[in-house]
Structure 1
Amino acid sequence: MRLRVRYGAGALASKAALAVTLAWGQPATAEQVHILALGDSLTQGYGLLESEGFVPQLRAWLAARGHDVRIVNGGVSGDTTAGGLARVEWSLTPEIDAMIVTLGGNDLLRGIDPAVARGNIEGILKVAQAGELEVLLVGMQAPGNYGPDYKAAFEAIYPELAESYGTLLAGNFFDGLMEDGAAPADLDAFMQADGIHPNEDGVARIVETPGPQVEALIAQASE
């Protein structure tokens, strides 16, 4: 868990509470971990009831495994990596211990230069690094319609930046839906009518794949 420096009356109150705790000799208890999920409509839960989206289903998956965690839904529909970079600093409120970054899908839909997307995601990771935040970076699989060079360059963003910045990595947001190399749009039973966003059942399958990495993120943030 990160140590935070507080000032003013809040700091005095915190110090007083700490002194009382030490005086009573009470054992330390695990604190709730606060995670920001920074992303686009896939994170936000586009087209779903609030309880069906990625964040609440991930929270429930973690709670079922005994984790005391609060996940802030920082998903904005239509957001690109540039949008995520523009809002990451004010989204990281003081209580946040770690961050899940799931961005790039809208960059792919718009054919944005992979170098631009890389720069934006790297900017987000620099903000996290400056704040001493643990990060799970979730990758995206590029379609083949922009050509093999574009596909290779875009998909390389995530593992390369994860290695450079020492973050955890989940290979592809849709890995939980992949069966024998099928694309997400082919799995009609798990997708909404637009063929882009998962339905409730699809989200349930998706959550199971990055779940263990999120558990690792919680462990790192709790150290």
Structure 2
Amino acid sequence: MPDRTLEPNGTDAPRRGRHAAARPRLWEAAFKAARGLLALVALITITSPALARTVRVVALGDSLTAGYGVAPKEAFPVQLEAALRARGHDVVIENAGVSGETATQGLARLDWSVPEGTDAVILALGANDMLRGLPPKVTRAALTQIVARLKARGITVLVAGMRAAPNLGAVYAAAFDPIFPEVAAEQGVLLYPFFLDGVAGDATLNQKDGLHPNPKGVAVMVAGILPKAEELLAAVTVRANGSN
């Protein structure tokens, strides 16, 4: 006859024996498995991109952005977008470059050049101000207003700096060159110090005018700014997390 024991209610029933002892262990194993699954889900959530959508970036600039003298597919915004996508970023970069434009002119068209839904802006204005010898204080004021207005709209900004040409003299350079790092620092935004880094003055990377990069020159510009562009996208993600 099977062993029998009293249940808590006093009834006489078959003893559970090994099956009764196994049940707690089964529940414990199931609990551990569930806890492990929850931890895995949490890890996936933490390490997954915060934005489950395409990040929209506007490149706001002059002929260096617009792609003067190169094919549309070779322009800076197109090459930068391709480089970022090759590194796994879901991003679209709109070309809002206008050849010959100054910082003040960029400010005048800011609202319609940077539409609603823009996540970030690469601000690359100031080269024409320098080439025309405009007062640096005018350039500084325009760039400051552009950055401030973009920030007020919740848009993350990367300032692409410019440097004065040597023929403008040391006095002008001393007033012009600090504009970009100082505006970026004052406004608390990202800075890429020199948009033409590695390209300016290199005849093999520029068109015949010596001012505008050729396709290879644009590629050098993209390679230089790429890490900072990735930092810009990361900042967009941080902002998105903070607003959720």
Structures share fold, TM-score greater than 0.5: yes
Give the one of 220, 226, 241 matched to 1:205.
Answer: 220
The letter for the 1-side match of 2:179 is I
Check conservation: 1:192, 1:199, Cα contact below 8 A: yes
The answer for the alignment partner of 1:193 in structure 2 is 208
1:88 equivalenced with 2:110 (yes/no) = yes
The letter for the 1-side match of 2:144 is E
Check conservation: 2:51, 2:237, Cα contact below 8 A: no
d(CA) in 1 for partners of 2:75, 2:110:
21
Deviation at 1:149, TM superposition (A): 2.0
The letter for the 2-side match of 1:199 is N
- Alignment gaps of 5+ in structure 2: 1-47, 239-244
- Compared with structure 1, are the counterparts of its residues 36 and 29 closer, same or farther at alpha carbon in structure 2 (3 Å cutoff)? closer
Check conservation: 2:190, 2:232, Cα contact below 8 A: yes
Deviates most, 146-155 or 97-106:
146-155
Deviation at 1:148, TM superposition (A): 1.4
The answer for the alignment partner of 1:12 in structure 2 is none
The answer for the alignment partner of 1:71 in structure 2 is 93
- Compared with structure 1, are the counterparts of its residues 195 and 29 closer, same or farther at alpha carbon in structure 2 (3 Å cutoff)? closer
Deviation at 1:29, TM superposition (A): 6.0
Aligned residues: 190
Secondary structure of residue in 2 paired with 1:176:
coil
TM-score (norm 1): 0.82
Q: Larger radius of gyration, structure 1 or 2?
A: 2
Deviation at 1:143, TM superposition (A): 1.5
d(CA) in 1 for partners of 2:116, 2:168:
40
Give the one of 128, 134, 145 matched to 1:112.
Answer: 134
Check conservation: 1:176, 1:208, Cα contact below 8 A: no
* Higher RCO, 1 vs 2 (CA within 8 Å, ≥6 residues apart): 1
% same residue: 46
The answer for the alignment partner of 2:42 in structure 1 is none
Runs ≥4 in structure 1, deviation > 3 angstroms? none
Task: Within 5 Å, give how 1:168-183 maps onto structure 2.
Answer: 168-177=190-199
d(CA) in 1 for partners of 2:92, 2:198:
23
TM-score (norm 2): 0.75
d(CA) in 2 for partners of 1:211, 1:122:
24
The answer for the alignment partner of 2:174 in structure 1 is 152
The answer for the alignment partner of 1:163 in structure 2 is 185
Secondary structure of residue in 1 paired with 2:229:
helix
The letter for the 2-side match of 1:141 is R
1:37 equivalenced with 2:69 (yes/no) = no
